[in-house]
Amino acid sequence: MHPFSFTKVASTRDALNAGLRGGRYIAGGTTLVDLMRETVERPETLVDITGLPLHRITVTERGGLRIGALVRMAEAAADSRVRTTFPVISQALELSASAQLRNMATVGGNIMQRTRCTYFRDVTAACNKREPGSGCAALEGVNRTHAILGASGDCVATHPSDVAVAFAALDASVHLLGPDGQRSVPVTGFLLRPGSTPNREHALRKGELITAVEIPAHPRPLKSGYLKVRDRQSYEFALTSAAVALHVRGGVIREAKVAAGGVGTVPWKLPAVERHLIGERPSDALWTEASERAADGARPLEHNRFKVELLKRTDERQLRIVGGNR
Ligand code: SF4
């Protein structure tokens, strides 16, 4: 492991100052420490931010939820307000990682976790994300788990977070604090597609800190849930996943929020599916028709063509689970 210094900060001001000097924030450390062991990451300074007051979950004035960046995954999943208002979030969290990791990892860190592309974690392989300009071993290599949506000629890695898919579906925003003050960015704009700079993965500016994720209020009742399809039923990343939230009033779907995981370079919103659902009456035929649009624009690689059909079926099944058999 590369030598590094370690400092623990007690105030956000100290954290921002340390971040501005190039320090890397660390909380649960469940991604970063792994990557440091593998020498994929070589920070000079780690800044422990676990002492900052970002551990609360609060209901917003309008009835949404604000989840502090340092809330542990397990805490957020178990929170009664999260479970009753947005079950899609608690389900996505509970289907992530392992119980031990969920007890350590934070919500902010979960969004920031890095790809599981094996070539990214193999420092002998070409990888534009790890070493810009070196190439992409996945393009001609084993790319079964890689992205079919949002990829570029420079990187085809998926974003691994489950809960970020639920956040994207619900139009959540990431609250940031930096030397220039506070700002808020939609989750879908915070995480960046690779383009020609796959090493740039998020919209954080130098020294900025994630303080919370805010989920806006949605009309109620809102039924929601998360389905994850993977090679084994625990401790595995998604081949495909679907986050679905539906508001039905008077027998008609008034609001539909749908996103997919395991298929995109970022959590992938499915606006064509949402448009097809809104204004319609729930039915089995509707779930099937809407899901036909889930893979619009997909560009599969040699080994992951199966994801196109699997994505549609995952989406259809989750629409049926949330919206009901009709
Ligand atoms: Fe690296 Fe992205 Fe290619 Fe994987 S897919 S090897 S992360 S550039």
Domain annotation covers residue 133: no
Domain annotation covers residue 292: yes
In angstroms, the CA 213 to CA 185 distance is 10
36, 53, 70 - which closes a domain:
53
The pLDDT of residue 245: 98
Is residue 157 lining ligand 1, measured as CB closer than 6 Å? yes
Is residue 204 lining ligand 1, measured as CB closer than 6 Å? no
Ligand 1: nearest atom to the Cα of 135 = 8
Domain annotation covers residue 230: yes
- Residues of the domain holding 288: 223-323
This prediction has a pTM of 0.98
Name which of 39, 68, 40, 67 is nearest 53 in CA terms: 68
In angstroms, the CA 88 to CA 82 distance is 9
* CATH code for position 317: 3.30.390.50
For 199-257, write each residue's pLDDT tens digit: 999 999 999 999 999 999 999 999 999 999 999 998 999 999 999 999 999 999 999 99
Low-confidence ranges of the chain (pLDDT < 50): none
What letter does residue 40 receive in the DSSP assignment? S
∠117-265-75 over CA atoms, to 5°?
A: 80
Is residue 147 lining ligand 1, measured as CB closer than 6 Å? no
Is residue 40 lining ligand 1, measured as CB closer than 6 Å? no
Indicate which residue's Cα is closest to atom 2 of ligand 1: 155
The pLDDT of residue 162: 98
Å from CA of 151 to ligand 1 middle: 10
For 241-259, write each residue's pLDDT tens digit: 999 999 999 999 999 999 9
Name which of 263, 315, 326, 255 is nearest 289 in CA terms: 315
Is residue 117 lining ligand 1, measured as CB closer than 6 Å? yes
32, 53, 74 - which closes a domain:
53
Domain annotation covers residue 273: yes
CA torsion 167-173-178-180 (nearest 10°) is 160
Backbone angles phi, psi at 296, to 5 degrees: -55, 130
Domain annotation covers residue 278: yes
The pLDDT of residue 237: 96
Is residue 190 lining ligand 1, measured as CB closer than 6 Å? no
Domain annotation covers residue 69: no
Tally of domains in the chain = 2
Residues 6+ apart with CB under 8 A from 319: 242, 244, 246, 258, 277, 287, 290, 291
11, 35, 53 - which closes a domain:
53
Domain annotation covers residue 282: yes
* CATH code for position 35: 3.30.43.10
In angstroms, the CA 201 to CA 117 distance is 14
Domain annotation covers residue 41: yes
Å from CA of 207 to ligand 1 middle: 26
Instruction: Tell me the torsion sign for CA atoms 85, 91, 93, 94.
Output: positive
